Structure 1
Amino acid sequence: MTGPRPMQILIPASNEAALIDGCLSALLVALTPTGATSKQVPVGVTVIANGCRDATAARARAFGEAFARKGWSLRVIELAQGSKIAALNAGEADLPSEAIRVYLDADVTVSPRLLGGLHAALDGPAPLYAGGRPRITGRGGVARAYARLWARLPFMTHGVPGCGVFAVNPAGRARWGRFPDLISDDGFVRLQFAPQERIAVPEPYDWPVAEGLAALVRVRGRQDAGMREIARLHPELLAREGKPPLGARGAARLALRDPLGFAVYGTVALGVRLRPAPDSWSRGR
């Protein structure tokens, strides 16, 4: 291909009218990536409003002129079915195969240089996966304590978790076809790549956790169920996990460093064990 490799950003959004403005506003002030020749990268944004009973689609469409002035394209797809997997498949249906793809949750706020960092990391022929540096945020005291502890786990500090936003290049996207009907789309994609094929881009983004113990238990239960589902249906992917263990000493250090965060995290983990496991994707908020 001639010219810089394009970038396509996909945002599945189900009843996200309260959050989609913040997500899209952050993209509007994001710096447009530049290719190896310093030419600006063509960028397209697709919002897939799925199963919405609110104004998510209308609020997204209201950004059309602003994105046009920026030189980016914006399209909004509406689906009656409330399914993140269906939304991802619909959004990808007619994207150019040569594009770098960024999968972005509607509650994520990107920093100005994140897209450029992702593009630079993925602008090559080898299959690659990339993610930014998550700043886990929470409003209430329980959410903040949980977020503090979670951010210190080895999976977060030594890996490329991809929570809230992750990206792949065309060779990486060729590793799977349509998104399968799984709870954990992000886990499925991450495990398509060996640890050495995952690139940690140092640019940050804000990713909020759910508010309150009950919501945290629901979200953590969904995450755990999603990984169990992958282990059951796609056991071959687990060989690529490469997750560093916490161990008893690591847990003790976390408990001494942040007793409140450790207590909240442990309470959520216990709540997950006592609660029936979800069998499908569900909202945490």
Structure 2
Amino acid sequence: MGTGVGRDMDQDYQSRGTDVTVIVPASNEAALIGGCLEALLASRFSGCAEVIVVANGCVDDTASVARSFAAQAAGMGWTLAVIERAEGGKPGALNAGDAAAQGPVRVYLDADVTVTPDLLGQLFAALDAATPRYASGAVHIVATTPISRAYARIWRRVPFMRDVVPGCGLFAVNAAGRARWGSFPHIIADDVFVRLHFDPKERVGVPSSYRWPIAEGWRNLVRVRRRQNAGVDEIAARYPDLIRNEDKPDFPAAEKLGIALSDPLGFLIYAGVALAVKLTPRSNQDWSRGR
């Protein structure tokens, strides 16, 4: 395995007439990449799409599981290629995918996300414009364990998740939008970095949804919430000009009180995680998502 795109891509990869490129960075996602690709290949999209899975730093069967979907993609008139990188790190994986991509519309999809059938077509329609645009679907936060389910109930009601286009786990841009930055820098929050390259008026939320799983269990929720906060702080420090595009809505005390009264347990867990993050000193962290 190496980092050269031409050497690492499957031999039958073709790139003619591509409308949309879906880039899926995947590090040790053998258990989940199949569900992601199965949902993606169930899309009702009449255009020509290419899927590029970038298996970065994997020690499991992520790459071989992804390759097993190549024939299904070909049967749809799509292409599916796998790039294997010995190096870990999501920014490097995104850059490798971009270097190989042919589609003017780029969809960046986390390997644990599952899309609904109409989402890809709606994203393409929203981004079929000469002016810069950013788009995402309606995020459906999912969790399995009781603590995480309670946390998710509140998180869905937070104004930022409910009223804007957060792009968690899935975001897409057109060619004019992608031209706004070069390579992905080595940062924590690639989703925030991209979203803030666009004025709120340039962001489009389409109605179709996708399932985005969150961390499971108290410790993992705290760790990932700390990671999210660190990612936002890093963007503010390194790219202060981008902050002008932030449109995070206020979360008034009266609204918080109403949510707390309607779901006391969920609010206690949500607020407790936030408090634990504030009270725990930041140090070198394992940023992997707990499942």
TM bracket, shorter-chain basis: over 0.9
Q: Shift in Å at residue 247 of structure 1?
A: 2.0
* Distance in 2, Cα, partners of 1:113 & 1:66: 18
- Show the counterpart of 2:272: 267
- Show the counterpart of 2:4: none
CA contact (8 A) 1:222 1:278 kept: no
- Show the counterpart of 1:220: 225
CA contact (8 A) 2:18 2:49 kept: no
Q: Are 2:139 and 1:134 aligned?
A: yes
The letter of the residue matching 1:235 is: P
CA contact (8 A) 1:222 1:277 kept: no
Alignment match of 2:248 (pick from 234, 240, 243): 243
Which whole-Å deviations, capped at 9, do the CAs of 1:204-251 have from their partners, x for residues lacking one? 111111110001111111000000000000011111001111021121
* Residues 43, 281 of structure 1: alpha-carbon distance in 2 compared, 3 angstrom cutoff: farther
* Residues 4, 120 of structure 1: alpha-carbon distance in 2 compared, 3 angstrom cutoff: farther
Q: Shift in Å at residue 81 of structure 1?
A: 1.1
CA contact (8 A) 1:133 1:201 kept: yes
Task: Give the unaligned 5+ runs of structure 1.
Answer: 33-39
Q: Shift in Å at residue 267 of structure 1?
A: 1.1
Q: Are 2:33 and 1:20 aligned?
A: yes
- Show the counterpart of 2:9: none
* Distance in 2, Cα, partners of 1:240 & 1:281: 29
Q: Shift in Å at residue 274 of structure 1?
A: 2.8
The letter of the residue matching 1:107 is: D
SS in 2 for 1:26: helix
* Distance in 2, Cα, partners of 1:229 & 1:59: 34
Q: Are 2:64 and 1:30 aligned?
A: no
Higher mean alpha-carbon deviation, 196-205 vs 242-251, is at 242-251
Aligned positions, number: 275
Taking every aligned residue pair, what percent have the same amino acid on both sides?
53
Q: Shift in Å at residue 277 of structure 1?
A: 2.7
Alignment match of 1:84 (pick from 84, 90, 97): 90
- Show the counterpart of 2:288: 283
Aligned pairs for 1:1-285 within 5 A: 6-32=19-45, 40-96=46-102, 99-277=104-282, 282-285=287-290
* Residues 279, 170 of structure 1: alpha-carbon distance in 2 compared, 3 angstrom cutoff: farther
Task: Give the unaligned 5+ runs of structure 2.
Answer: 1-15
Which whole-Å deviations, capped at 9, do the CAs of 1:150-185 have from their partners, x for residues lacking one? 010100111000001010000010110000111000
TM-score, length-normalised on structure 2?
0.91
SS in 2 for 1:93: helix
Which whole-Å deviations, capped at 9, do the CAs of 1:111-151 have from their partners, x for residues lacking one? 00000110010001110000100111111111111111001
Q: Shift in Å at residue 29 of structure 1?
A: 1.0
SS in 2 for 1:204: strand
* Distance in 1, Cα, partners of 2:60 & 2:219: 24
* Distance in 1, Cα, partners of 2:21 & 2:272: 39
SS in 1 for 2:100: coil
* Distance in 1, Cα, partners of 2:186 & 2:86: 17
- Show the counterpart of 2:11: none
* Distance in 2, Cα, partners of 1:112 & 1:95: 22
Q: CA RMSD in A?
A: 1.5
Q: Shift in Å at residue 27 of structure 1?
A: 1.1
* Distance in 2, Cα, partners of 1:87 & 1:224: 22
CA contact (8 A) 2:52 2:101 kept: no
Which whole-Å deviations, capped at 9, do the CAs of 1:24-74 have from their partners, x for residues lacking one? 000111111xxxxxxx32100000001111000010011111111111100
CA contact (8 A) 2:41 2:73 kept: yes
Q: Which runs of 4+ in 1 moved over 6 A?
A: none
CA contact (8 A) 1:5 1:123 kept: no
* Distance in 1, Cα, partners of 2:282 & 2:62: 29
* Distance in 2, Cα, partners of 1:130 & 1:72: 22
* Distance in 2, Cα, partners of 1:137 & 1:248: 26
